[in-house]
Amino acid sequence: MKKYCIIIILLLNFSSIAQKTNICANAACDSISKISHPELSLRKIKYEQVLEIYMKGQQNFRIAAEIIRIPVVVHVIHNQVSNAFLGTNISDEQVFSQIKVINEDYRRKIGTMGFNSNAIGADTEIEFFLANIDPDGKPSSGITRSFSSKTSFNIINDNDRLIMSNLSYWDSNKYLNIWVAPLSSGYIGYGEFPYAETVEGLETEATENLDGVYIDYTTFGKKTGTNTKGLYSFGRTTTHEIGHWLGLYHPWGDERCGTDYVADTPQSTGANSSAFCKDVFSTCAGTRTRNLIEDYMDYSPDSCMNIFTQGQKDRMRAALELSKRRRRVVNFAKFQLPPSSTLQAVIFPNPTISTNVQVQVLLPNFQDFEVKISDIFGREVYTESFSDLPSTIVTLKTKDLPAGNYFLTVTSNIQKVQKRLALF
């Protein structure tokens, strides 16, 4: 059991937590935070005080939790002159693979790498989906793409993160922003921590347009595109950083035998910064225990990770209730289009030009589906297949189709729907 002491928080990083491939970046982030943003330390202390009271009030009457769904927008910041999906301009498929991984991990899905049989392992009952609607209320794929001539970004530098945000940002009161870009100095991920947005006597507002998660393009997604090999090729960097966005610390509390304020994670002397999944032991307060190297909040290789504990689940869900900005994201999600219990397809706009046929396909879960276009005589003039996707918007490659009336058919594993399509 970890003792709660609010004074310890002064030794931690309050604004954000970064992960580095070789050396933990928290010490650098902590010193920068204290010098440049001392007001964030006060907001963090206030947040922890409120969280402690809330958690104590919840521990004796835990009930079945509802599924919380969080809309995500992925901002791809790239330096590719062409529109081709290459290099830093990662493909839609790479984005889809990452969304799938975080849902497997946060939902502890059986039959995936995110499942564990550990007695303290928990299904957090938190899900993520690419936003169906943009800030203007228009249908969206949940993916934006922005060109920058800048070849790399330093994520512990506010100015560099501001550059990314200025290129593309959606209201962080409504969306979880994930920026994917080439990151510098060996850092592969960074997640903003929740704050107490209001503190008596403190006028400065916590910066909204920097709130989100920042991931290097070479560690985003699972075994596809620019992330096919290495220790971080299973998409767990994003799982880790979203954990910070939801209020989780590293298990060692960013100091020797520190605390993460979670009772069921073993206290540890430090991170598993090795390239292996071998047991690591710590001796804190005279007791030798095994580190929970499988925890998503450790620095273990992706292939080792497969657990959030029940205590971490409780803390994350508390963050979604107590952080005003996080709570707003959850409430906004209720007005987004959820996964559909049946296959649905919407063409927009319709009528449209042949180079701009977009179809919103709503599915119950990740599925294969096929889109076909036939002319009024029933002759097939276009077909395209999509593999293992959630509800999404697809843009069809139909520039060679002449103007006229057509039938568009979407077929999933078990269902089929047909719509009229008019091209001009």
Q: 41 in a domain, yes or no?
A: yes
pLDDT band at 20; cut points 50, 70, 90? very low
Q: Please indicate, yes or no, whether residues 384 and 306 belong to a single structural domain of this protein.
A: no
Give per-residue pLDDT as tens, 364-390: 888 899 999 999 999 999 999 998 888
Q: What confidence score (pLDDT) does residue 5 get?
A: 31
Is residue 129 included in any domain, yes or no?
yes
Contacts of 324 (CB under 8 A, 6+ apart): 197, 198
Q: Per the domain annotation, does 123 fall within a domain?
A: yes
Q: What's the Cα-to-Cα distance from 424 to each of 60, 365, 406, 420, rounded to whole Å?
A: 64, 34, 11, 13
Task: Give me the mean pLDDT over the 91-117 stretch.
Answer: 96
Position 17 pLDDT exceeds 90: no
What is the average pLDDT score of the chain?
85
Q: What is the pLDDT of residue 291?
A: 93
Supply the CATH number for residue 418's domain.
Answer: 2.60.40.3080
Contact call for residues 238 and 218 (beta carbons, < 8 A) = no
pLDDT value at 343 more than 60: yes
Cα 109 from Cα 123, distance rounded (Å): 8
Alpha carbons 203 and 42: distance in angstroms, whole number: 12
Among candidate residues 333, 358, 390, the one where a domain is terminated: 333
Angle CA 251–328–318, to nearest 5: 35
Task: Quote the pLDDT of residue 181.
Answer: 96
Does 319 share its domain with 357? no
315 and 260 in contact (C-beta within 8 Å)?
no
Antiparallel, parallel or unpaired: β 68-78 and 126-130? parallel
The mean pLDDT of 65-72, rounded to a whole number, is 91
pTM given for the model:
0.78
- Average of per-residue pLDDT across 15-35: 45
pLDDT above 90 as % of the chain: 60
In a domain, 1, yes or no: no
Return the higher-pLDDT residue of 395 and 195: 395
Q: Check residue 92 and report its DSSP letter.
A: H
Q: Among 301, 333, 365, where does a domain finish?
A: 333
Residue 302 within a domain:
yes
Q: How many domains does the chain have?
A: 2
Higher pLDDT: 29 or 89? It is: 89
Residue 421 has pLDDT above 70, yes or no: yes
On whether both 283 and 357 belong to a single domain, the answer is: no
pLDDT (mean) for 44-60: 77
Query: Strand (E) positions, 79-186?
Result: 126-130, 143-147, 176-181
Q: How confident is the model at residue 21 (pLDDT cuts 50, 70, 90)?
A: low
Same domain, 140 and 274: yes
Residues 226 and 308 occupy one common structural domain: yes
- Is the pLDDT confidence value at 320 over 80? yes
Query: Cβ neighbours of residue 92 under 8 Å, at least 6 residues apart?
Result: 85, 141, 143
In a domain, 49, yes or no: yes
- Residue 218 clears pLDDT 50, i.e. is over it: yes
Strand partners, 144: 75
* Burial environment of residue 257 by CB neighbours within 10 A (0 to 12, 13 to 18, 19 or more): middle
Residues 217, 177 share a domain? yes
Q: Which of 92, 5, 93 is nearest to 48 (CA)?
A: 5
Residue 273 maps to a domain? yes
- Lowest pLDDT segment from 36-40, 247-251, 258-262, 293-297: 36-40
- For the cut 90, the answer to whether the pLDDT of residue 110 exceeds it is yes
Host domain of residue 18? 6-333
Q: Decide if pLDDT at 414 tops 80.
A: yes
Q: For residue 165, is it left (φ>0), alpha (ψ between -120 and 50) or beta? A: alpha
- What pLDDT was estimated at residue 28? 43
User: What pLDDT shows up at residue 7?
Assistant: 26
- Integer Cα distance of 23 and 274 in angstroms: 10
Q: What CATH number did the domain enclosing 121 receive? A: 3.40.390.10
* Residue 338 domain flag: no
Give me the active site residues, please.
241
Q: Band of the pLDDT at 286, cuts 50, 70, 90?
A: confident
What pLDDT, on the 0 to 100 scale, is given for residue 283? 92
DSSP line for 178-207: EEEEPBSTTEEEEEEPP--S-BTTB-PPPP
Q: Say yes or no: 129 and 176 in one domain.
A: yes
Q: Mean per-residue pLDDT for 11-25?
A: 41
Share of the chain above pLDDT 70, in %: 86
Across 117-130, average pLDDT: 94
